[in-house]
Structure 1
């Protein structure tokens, strides 16, 4: 069903895949530019039935780096519409107002406006309660911006009443404390959002109008699915379709990360569809053919929407239809974390996202000059891909028998399996680009000097650190990486006695999760010398910590391991020394770069160009490693 046509009002769609709204942060003036055009055009070219851009209705409602309806140059929006229309793709413009959901620092010192003076738990900036005059002005701004979209060739508008932004704030008793006609006690706060919908409908006439709603607020005391259905039934008078997402950004329940099952919030869409009898676009973790087809065939929705799948691979839909491997969204949340921090949109696993205009300026040049890439991890594979795309004759040398580097282990903990699909996609890309891949080959100095390549990229990764603790010998402990590589029979030893895992970062926590999944009877204590577990995971630490606690793992922060003796690990805690029983010890205390200095020195002696990328330069996450490669090949190419 996902590749069959559909209609929403007067808007015809070639398939059922909608690229949802994503704030890019690209705005630098009052006109869309080449960066914006290239970003949306690439996704239109890649098979989306429609792409959605975000447009703030006025300055008060704009996030940092967001275009505004009151100042946007009309011709630039017309150009965007024309560009996406070339590919039988439709342009939807989401009309947006941030309400309280923005950083005061990013709002250039201006007060945030909201139904009531209740601060967001994310940004913690208290907004100012909107006056009746400001409410009227904002309503007019929605209508005027909608009229602009119609005038400039947009195929539909979408009104944002979701995620904790302005209009959805009226619907919640937690954020709407007003005592006037727009307060929550008056029709559960629906009055003002419905007035906005009516004003927009009048402004756009028969142009299709979508309404984006959160299925439930997912906060104690907030609105639920029943409230959302009631609102949508009232909104039917003006709406042509609904886009149904999960909860709010500040909800303690995961919304879009890899901890959420694919298509998990489909039931919200199904309820809205059932009780409104209007077309519905389902959202949240719909990023593969199987999930989309299941939701459509079961009648959960009429269309499926994703933003992040199109960030990871702009040609995602085209590849689905052709049964080709694509770069899958990892659900790592780096994209939304950056946006919430006021940074530009980017994808950790696709550095080209937002830089399509730069890539379009690169010419592939036929050359016999060779690029040699040493290392078969993600940075090395991506470096070989970029070199081949630039036109270089490219060889990748991998000492191991298979490509993937540390991702071969990183994909093993719960929820991380899509990392394996990322490696498979890179392998396919190397084959497509005719990269010469040498597996099980050691690239030493003599090997490199025999080739004398035009450029050598050293992507040899990193190696685990072993903690220097009094009494701890290497044979007394297992590295986290060694545990991940064990067979289930080898891991069974952890089912007896107490296991102490030293290191409470992402590696330690994910190793514990993997071990508990394989050996549920294991007893694990994680020691972290810092004050916070999973600091490098950011917001993703919360659901992982919850899972570990539910599995019975004991978490001990501010606990520095200082020595080991006779199956005891001594720790410093609050200035006191204690010990914990340790029948088994696992260490996950970080890594250090392994950059092959002998090769670098030999290349310098011969005055041959080289670059060190990824973990071989300094240990970091996959995204930073890929970014270092993209940066290299943005500077380095034949003219």
Structure 2
């Protein structure tokens, strides 16, 4: 039961029908030259799936505040027009929408559009590892002008038809930079002691409130914990919450962490609901000051409504913001409301198509839902002009996505998979500690196909004998995946040498000393599996304790490295000829998993040449010419993959129209994000080809 989730609440004069807020996400759709069509399609699909209050990604209040070329700036008439289109579409779909007012501060990229190449602005000239630059310390005139820019942004939100604004004062952006001693080293009216460091966020809120009047809802997103050395002390955070309530905030949304923090906050390794404790503390501080009626919004690392229900039932949080889960499944609210949470496509916190892309210019999307961000390009069409018949060969991620896309479009489709279970290589990742939700993706996709009446024939390798039946179809999506590459290396056929697939299948059979040849994402996952333990995933309390984040947050939390598991009994070496170990892993995740491997005692070698495999291990030559033996009881090959394309030749000879996806299309730089995106697009292409043939025949 989700009784607390589905209770209405009020934010100022706004009545919200349930307690789940769709949190802000920068999408790189904000500056597309399409009049706001993609942005509107993205938001309205979530509203139709049950989202009530949607918070947009940040719109910069002036050009200096832009986070990069994909950020919209409220001074730009084209961006305002796109926002107006999105707000109108959300209202037409029955939803509510708040515009997030944003200024990146020292996190702005140097030379952002409209800045004439000027460096980013910040409270003080403190180097940023995120933007890799030293910002310019703001003059007092620039500070007061920025306060006014936030007020103008709020006025524009009102004029554009938005239902509320959210002031972005968390995650290390400009307002948060003013509150932290690390980044505010001023000694004037805007810094020098705690009270003056808090002045900027309070003045911003006052200016926004004055600009829109008392009836227009204003949310303020504040940092509950910066999680950086010399960040905002907890006492200052609590006082800021009270001052913001005094200044007229209608709700306080509580975020955590900076991009420069050594503590993981949004990765799969973080237990769900970990950071709600900071929102609970903010609520208690408000109650103690007589502001207990001001709603507090918890956020970060929720991917199920049941988790939100648990936090809300505690009484110290009023709403829960979920962002990435709405990427994974736009209908997460309606499915959960209907008691069908088992069909929700879960956010697996891989970050690859969402957070990692948001730092660049590529359109934000989702591994488990590649339509995310592309709704305008791939609209749902439940009733096709003609119902076709298709086959999908291969039930890895690419094949499963192609099959559900075809079925959702209203076509008949059958799936053939040579293995005894679906999932392909994604099943391997699901075995890694902390990635249990990866297996859920395969289970839920299989369940959806069953609900769409799509037969999945397991243990069926398609061959020449299937050609007569395939010729009767309108097309085929070939998603037969990959096989491990076997390098041409002396000793590769010795009995203690095995490929990564066999190692994943039976890790317990490997000896105490293991050498892994290859250092990509598969090798890193395998290293985690081989050095992990079978203990249950930590609770939020255990995770916080491991980071030295105790009942009263210390000024300096521990780092991810100190929180990693102790060195295990297995001695593991991961080797790579060139480049960084795990170079293909997304930047928001790689640093976390690599810190864990180092803490577990995994030896990481790069710039080595493999000379031969012997019964005693692997002989390598280091960059300096030193020849050495890496002793090993077992040697695992993780040297890439090769496409399985035997079936492609069969289809080609038989004249069966087909499209390829995933590893069958190209094994180079293969990852799950690319696989699902290609599955989606291959399904649409094969239908378009069939429709073109039907049209020609009708002429």
- The TM-score by the shorter chain falls in which range? over 0.9
Deviations 1:97-148 (A, max 9, x none): 1112122255465322222222320221332222222222221121122122
List per-residue Cα deviations over 1:519-544 (Å, max 9, x = no partner).
84222222232342211113222211
Using the TM superposition, give the Cα deviation of residue 355 of structure 1 relative to its aligned residue in structure 2, in angstroms.
1.2
| Residue 265 (structure 1) aligned with residue 275 (structure 2) | yes
Counterpart-to-counterpart distance in 1, 2:584 and 2:54: 33
Partner of 2:402: 383
> How much does 1:184 deviate?
4.0
Question: Which of 424, 429, 444 is the aligned partner of 1:405?
Answer: 424
Q: Say if 1:363 and 1:390, in contact at 8 Å, map to a contact too.
A: yes
| Number of the residue aligned with 2:321 | 305
Residue 63 (structure 2) pairs with residue 59 (structure 1): yes
Question: 1:39 maps to which residue?
Answer: 42
Are 1:219 and 2:239 an aligned pair? no
1:110 aligns with 2:117: yes
- CA 1:629–1:139: 2 relative to 1, 3 Å: same
Partner of 2:593: 544
1:577 aligned partner: 627
- State the alpha-carbon separation in 2 of the partners of residues 290 and 15 from structure 1: 14
Please name the residue that 2:649 is paired with: 601
Q: CA deviation at 1:179?
A: 3.1
**Which of 175, 185, 193 is equivalent to 2:183?**
175
- 8 Å CA contact retained: 1:533, 1:541: no
Specify the alignment match of 1:449 in structure 2: 468
The aligned counterpart of 2:128 is 120
- The alpha-carbon deviation at position 84 of structure 1 amounts to 2.3
Structure 2 residue 11 is matched with structure 1 residue 11: no
Give secondary structure in 2 for the equivalent of 1:83.
Answer: helix
Q: Deviation of residue 186 (structure 1)?
A: 6.2
The alpha carbon displacement at 1:510 in A equals 1.5
2:608 is equivalent to residue 589 of structure 1:
no
Aligned to 2:558: none
Q: Secondary structure at the match of 2:105?
A: coil
- Work out the number of aligned pairs and report it: 632
Partner of 1:491: 508
Are 1:502 and 2:517 matched, yes or no?
yes
Shift of 1:460: 0.4
Q: How does 1:55-94 map to 2 (within 5 A)?
A: 55-63=59-67, 64-72=69-77, 77-94=83-100
Name the CA distance, whole Å, in 2 between partners of 1:126 and 1:302: 39
Kept after mapping to 2: 8 A contact 1:20/1:307: yes
CA distance in 2, matches of 1:89, 1:184: 43
Distance of 1:21 and 1:554 partners within structure 2: 40
Seen in structure 2, the aligned counterparts of structure 1 residues 448 and 117 have a Cα distance that, compared at 3 Å, is: farther
For the Cα contact (< 8 Å) 2:63–2:112, is it kept in 1? no
Alpha carbons 2:10, 2:16 under 8 Å: kept: yes
- Contact 1:367 1:393 (C-alpha < 8 Å) held by counterparts: no
Residue 24 of structure 1 pairs with residue 74 of structure 2: no
- Among 606, 617, 626, the alignment partner of 1:557 is 606
Distance 1:149 1:201, change over 3 A: same
Higher relative contact order (CA 8 A, sep 6+): 2
Distance 1:129 1:576 in 2: 50
Q: How does 1:110-189 map to 2 (within 5 A)?
A: 110-111=117-118, 112-185=120-193, 187=195, 189=197
Deviation, 1:408, is: 1.9
Q: Report which stretch shifted further, 160-169 or 105-114.
A: 105-114
**Secondary structure, in 3 states, of the residue corresponding to 1:509?**
helix
Matches within 5 A, 1:428-443: 428-443=447-462
Partner residue in 1 for 2:346? 328
Deviation at 1:584, TM superposition (A): 2.1
Are residues 401 and 580 of structure 1, via their aligned partners in 2, closer, same or farther at CA, if it must alter by over 3 Å? closer
Q: CA deviation at 1:331?
A: 0.5
Give the match for residue 282 of structure 1.
298
- Aligned pair 1:244/2:250, yes or no? no
User: Residues 485 and 493 from structure 1, CA distance in 2 versus in 1: closer, same or farther, beyond 3 angstroms?
Assistant: closer
Structural RMSD (CA): 2.2
Contact 1:218–1:224 (CA under 8 A) maintained in structure 2: no
CA contact (8 A) 1:170 1:190 kept: yes
Tell me the alpha carbon deviations over residues 437-457 of structure 1, each in whole angstroms, 9 at most, x when there is no partner. 222212112203333122121
Q: Secondary structure at the match of 1:117?
A: coil
What TM-score comes out, normalization by structure 2 length?
Answer: 0.86
Sort the Cα spacing of 1:104 and 1:47 in 2 relative to 1 into closer, same or farther, 3 A: same
CA drift at 1:376:
1.0
CA distance in 2, matches of 1:448, 1:113: 65
Equivalent-residue separation in structure 2 for 1:103 and 1:530 (angstroms): 30
Report the secondary structure of 2:609's partner residue. strand
- Partner of residue 621, structure 1: 671
Q: Mean Cα displacement is larger for which, 272-281 or 145-154? A: 145-154
TM-score by length of 1: 0.94
Q: Residues 70 and 141 of structure 1 are in contact (CA less than 8 Å); yes or no, is this contact kept in structure 2?
A: no
Are 2:64 and 2:112, in contact at CA under 8 Å, matched by a contact in 1? no
What is the rounded CA distance, in whole Å, between the counterparts of 2:34 and 2:605 in structure 1?
Answer: 52
Aligned partner of residue 549 in structure 1, secondary structure: helix
C-alpha distance in 1 between matches for 2:337 and 2:673: 28
**Is the contact made by 2:37 and 2:86 (CA closer than 8 Å) also made in structure 1?**
no
Q: 1:315 aligned to 323, 331, 339, which one?
A: 331
Q: Tell me the SS of whatever aligns to 1:292.
A: helix
1:321 is displaced (CA, Å) by 1.4
Q: Which moved more, 1:88-97 or 1:310-319?
A: 88-97
Separation (CA, whole Å) in 1 of partners of 2:38 and 2:245: 36
Report the CA distance shift for 1:342/1:77 in structure 2 as closer, same or farther (over 3 A). closer
Report what 1:461 is aligned to: 481
- Render the CA deviation track for 1:413-457: whole Å, top value 9, x for unaligned: 011111111112211221232223222212112203333122121
Q: Is the 8 A contact 2:345 2:444 kept in 1?
A: yes
Between stretches 233-242 and 540-549, larger displacement belongs to 540-549
- Unaligned runs of 5+ residues in structure 2 are 287-291, 535-567, 693-699
Q: Which runs of 5+ in 1 are unaligned?
A: none
| Contact kept in structure 2, 1:172 and 1:188, CA below 8 Å | no
Measure how far apart 1:634 and its partner are. Answer: 4.2
* C-alpha distance in structure 1 between counterparts of 2:401 and 2:421, whole Å: 15
3-state SS of the aligned residue for 1:450? helix
Which moved further from structure 2: 517-526 or 317-326? 517-526
* 1:533 alignment counterpart: 581
